[in-house]
Amino acid sequence: MKYGFFDNKKKEYVITHPATPASWSNYLGDTRYGAIITNNAGGYSFFRSAVQGRFMRFRSNTIPIDQPGRFIYFYDMETRESWSASWQPMAKPLNEFESVCRHGTAYSIITSGYRGITSETTYFVPLGQAFEYWLCKLTNNSNKKRKIRVFTFVEFANHWHMYHDTVNLQYSQYIIKSRVAENIIEHGINVNLSLDEKGSANEAAKYSFIGIAGANVSGFDTDREAFLGRYGDYKNPEVVLQGKCKQSLAEGYNGCGVLQTEVELEPGESKEFTVVMGIGRINDTGKRVMEEASNTALVKDRLKELIQHWHTRLSHFTIESPDSSFNSMINTWNPYNCLITFAWSRAASLVYAGERDGYGYRDTLQDLLGIIHILPEEAKKRLELMITGQASTGGAMPVVKFYGHKPGMEKAPEEAEYRSDDSMWLFIAIPTYVKETGDIDFFNKVLPYADNGEDTVLNHMKKAIIFNLNRSGKHGLPCGLMADWNDCLELGHDGESVFVALQLYYALGVYADITKMLGHHKETSWSKEQQLRLGGRIEEHAWDGKWYLRAYSENGQVFGSEKNQEGSLWLNPQSWAVISGHAGKERARKILGVVKERLSTKYGIMICDPPYVNEELSVIRAVLFNPGMKENGSIFNHTQGWIVMAETLAGNGDNAFEYFRSSMPASYNEQADIRQIEPYVYSQSTHGKHSSHHGASSLPWLTGAATWAYYAATQYILGIQPDYTGIHINPCIPGNWEKLNITRYFRGKTLHIEIRNPGKIQKGIKKLLLNGTTPIKGNFIHEYMLSESNKVLAILS
């Protein structure tokens, strides 16, 4: 079934049927004040951290998963009938209740109609602010005067730390206190303690507020049980059903933010009011922002400013291709997904509910790839932060704290805590940043290690190489340590990862290229020599005759061999053998053919096959998962970009785009009941063919899949590849694409690129023309040749 469509002009996804297979969400705000909102106004808000700053309550794994949320209830004072501004929570029959949700770039608009009354509520966080607006417009579409009583509802957390609020109830239920003044509810936590201005100490006074601007408040409730009723719920709150607030004040137990107002509407008349919720006290923040919000024109101007801010970001790379769904993803939703993931890592969603409060090392370095061209300065700051998360051993801290990371003063991980792939991601993140910006001197920048000492960025990279060279197993391949990229492989510390061996092979090639460019010829020779040696060991011990092995455990067990009954073929070594250059042209053709034959499904490429059912847990933790789920034979979407890259490197544009489209969310807009989650953002995994839920996806939004999909699409399918001194135009596209246009912002200059494919081939530049007069040899345009605005014509042959 189809539940919505892409509005490419407005850069919105429009949900036309509110009973979506799952709660379809969006993000509001920024890394100071963040919020999640769904198509039915569910979700929560948080200050700086979704773990330690969640001031709105959120309960994991409920039905529906997004409640409570930001609810507005209506009560007809004549008929005494009640409903909500979103379909949930009151869930009126859909043959009587209409609801449309427009998820945009950091805002959402929910429009609903019931019994002749239309409400349009726009939710957003103004740029740089620590509060959110719910701008509500009520319209009387009936032929008689209507008097509607309005109730806001938000359930405040009793403690900003998610554990204390949801689990440690013997403590958190006795530390809250509410007060009401100036049409504003103030919800206080630990009110007997002093205020923490930074909002980072959990045992300090903390305050949030909610108010209504543009309407007179006639009642309130701040006690949740008083509002809902002792046996009530969000669908049938006692106060709404009775049509009148009780003026309850919470002191302990559970607080909420309910404000009552009345709106009288003549036939055809519309009126607006704004609900404001945020961080702070009534006197120091609440009154000021409420006064601002009473100016509806100002609220709307702030929305326009927000939209312009995001649309400017998304204008840095745009396309017109023959595939409209591909256009929707590349022009809006994929980079937007990357930006949200960059902001919140894996810390805040309807699924990630407080397990991690920091930047995962491997995740964050990869997350940079999708946003460097949009936010180069912010990317640089994050990249420097992650480099300072590298220990002086060359390995890395698994997680770098959001706040409070102290380079040079952190405790280095124990040997058993290192993951073998973590530092290898530096060899994509650092060159991608330098190639995008031209900041070659970045390699010479001195940055501290996490624990002690400091070094140039280039030497940080060498330390990462030496870390894995010094930790090799009996076959001379890098040890698996605590884990390689796949946390479910139980290799043991001295087991060996073929995947990391191929990453290291790639890293040595990158290091050789950089040192050659910088004139460090001894380093170049050293790197090439090490790469040659490692390549020989990979050839001898990792090539299984038809494909590459996955790993060796420390007791000698082989993973990914044709001899294995379970897990005989793994995707990652095959894609990375091509990406790293270890697999030559003929071998690449061979292993990519095996991948297509054995691992390809209509929803993407499986991570391994067959899945594990009978293997011991001590050998592979993936056996914990049902066959076809997660690391046990699912379509792990993080890996899809890598196989797309490999296919383009082999010149297979048709296969590359087929694979890209098979896992692209927009491909399943009309099959949403199968995919279930949002059709506009990427997810961690999709169930493989061995699962009874084949095609269903899970863990949307915060995933490296978004970054790798975007990176593979823009740099490998579309082929726009920045380099240290210029930019390559090197597309690898479906043979039936005759033409496409790309606009790319690069180092302060704009490139308008037209690609023509008269011969209907997949890869290869016949002619490259710059600004109508300058022929370019090959596919590389030097930066010095570019003007402020440029026209590039590329003809394939």
pLDDT digits (tens, 9 = 90+) for 331-386: 999 999 999 999 999 989 999 876 677 899 999 999 999 999 999 999 999 999 99
Highest mean pLDDT among 183-197, 397-411, 596-610: 596-610
pLDDT of residue 195: 84
Statement: residue 490 has pLDDT above 90: no
pLDDT digits (tens, 9 = 90+) for 641-663: 999 999 999 999 999 999 999 99
- pTM, two decimals, is 0.97
Statement: residue 200 has pLDDT above 80: no
Confidence of residue 201 (pLDDT cuts 50, 70, 90): low
Confidence of residue 198 (pLDDT cuts 50, 70, 90): low
| Active-site entry in 487, 513, 654, 723 | 487
Domains of the chain, CATH where assigned: 25-312 (2.70.98.40), 356-470 (no CATH), 720-796 (2.60.420.10)
Nearest to 712 by CA among 670, 666, 663: 663
| DSSP letter for each residue of 608-629 | EESPPSSS-TTTBGGGGSPTTB
pLDDT digits (tens, 9 = 90+) for 545-589: 999 999 999 999 999 999 999 999 999 999 999 999 999 999 999
Q: CA separation (Å) from 578 to 240, 484, 551? A: 62, 19, 17
pLDDT digits (tens, 9 = 90+) for 499-524: 999 999 999 999 999 999 999 999 99
Buried/exposed code over 184-206 (b: 16+ C-beta within 10 A; e: otherwise) = bbbbbbbbeeebeeebbbbebbb
Burial class (CB in 10 A: 0-12, 13-18, 19+), 565: exposed
Confidence of residue 240 (pLDDT cuts 50, 70, 90): very high
pLDDT of residue 781: 98
Nearest to 459 by CA among 430, 488, 432: 430
pLDDT of residue 199: 57
pLDDT of residue 618: 85
Nearest to 71 by CA among 152, 187, 155: 152
Confidence of residue 203 (pLDDT cuts 50, 70, 90): confident
Q: 789-796 and 749-756: which strand pairing?
A: parallel
Q: Measure the CA–CA gap between 441 and 432, rounded to whole angstroms.
A: 14
User: What percentage of the chain reaches a pLDDT higher than 90?
Assistant: 94
Residue 76: active-site member = no
Statement: residue 279 has pLDDT above 70: yes
Q: Tokens 């029959």 — which residue?
A: 93
pLDDT digits (tens, 9 = 90+) for 71-124: 999 999 999 999 999 999 999 999 999 999 999 999 999 999 999 999 999 999
